Amino acid sequence: MTVIHSGGVRASRRRMALDFFGRVVSDRAAAVGLFVIALWIAVGMTVPLWAWYDPLSLVGRRLQPPGSAHWLGTDALGRDVFFRTLYGVRYSLPVSVAVIAVSVVIGGLAGLVAGYFGGWINEVVMRLVDLLAAFPPLILAMCVVTVFGGGILYSAFALIIVWWPIYARLVRAEVLAVKELDHVMAARLSTRTDAAIIRRHVAPLCIGPLVTAGTVDLGAVVMMVAGLSFIGLGAKPPTPEWGLMIFEGASMYQSWWITLGPGLGIVSLALAFNFVGDAVQAALDPRRGRQQGAA
C-alpha cells in the first residue's frame, strides 16, 4: 500500500509540474524568453567545441568592420567580437544564476526563521536587513567589491550581499501571513517540532513568491554583473565578459560593432528572464492571470 501511495503522490506531483509548465509556456512572451535562455545555455556549453576563433587570440586587423571573415568585426586588439560575445555568456549567465540561487537560500532561510520565531531573532535579522537595504544596491556592491578587491568572483559575492535581504524581507512577510492559517496554527499546537512545521506547512507556501522574484531578478543581476565589469570592478582583461567588452568599446565611437554583440546579449537575457518571471507569477497566481486575460 505504501508503494502505491508513493507512486500516486509522485504521479500527482508530475501532473502538477507539467500543468504549471504548460501554463507558463502558453504565454507567448514567456515561450520566446525560454527559447532565448535555452539558446544561450546551449551556446555557452558548446561554443568551445565549434568556435573557429579563440576569444583571446589576435585573429584579424585592428578595428575591422563586420564582414564575412568576422561577423561582428574585430576589437582594438584584433580579436573576433562575435565569438568573444558568445564566450561571454559563459561568465554572465552562470554568475547571475549563482548569485540568485545563493541569495534565495540565504534570504529564504533568514526570512523563515525571523518570521516564524519572531522575538529577538526577528529583531536581529530585520535590523541587519534594514542596514543593508539603506544603501542603493549598486553603491553597496561597489563598496563591497572595493573592500575585497576586484574580480568576477568578488563581484558575485557583493551581489549576494545586495540581494539576500530582498528575499529575507519577502519570505518574512509571507511567513507572517501563513502563520495565521488554521492548519498551521493547529500544527503548532500539536507535538510536532518547529523544524517539521516549517518544512511541511510553512516553507511550501513561501516557495511561489520566492521563485517568481528570483526569476525576475535574474535579468537585473545580469545587468549588474555587466555594470560592475563596465566600471572596472568585475571581470578583468582579457576576459570576454559582456560588461568589460562594452567598456573596451565605449570610447570608440566609430567602431560601433564592438559594443553591439555584448549589448544585445545583455538585453536579450534581461528581457527573457523578465518575460518568464511574469509568466511564472501569473501561473502561480490564477487570479492575476484572469485579471490580465480580462484586460
How far, in Å, CA of 60 to CA of 73, rounded?
9
pTM for the full predicted model? 0.89
Say if residue 216's pLDDT is above 70: yes
Say if residue 17's pLDDT is above 70: yes
Residue 180: band (very low, low, confident or very high) from pLDDT cuts 50, 70, 90: confident
pLDDT value of position 4: 45
Residue 3: band (very low, low, confident or very high) from pLDDT cuts 50, 70, 90: very low
Residue 294: band (very low, low, confident or very high) from pLDDT cuts 50, 70, 90: very low
Return the bridge partners of 80, or none: 74
Nine-digit cell string for 24:
507558463
The CATH number that domain 2-294 falls under is 1.10.3720.10
Return the SS3 of 69. Answer: coil
CA distances from 176 to 125, 127, 147, 184, 220 (A): 15, 17, 36, 11, 27
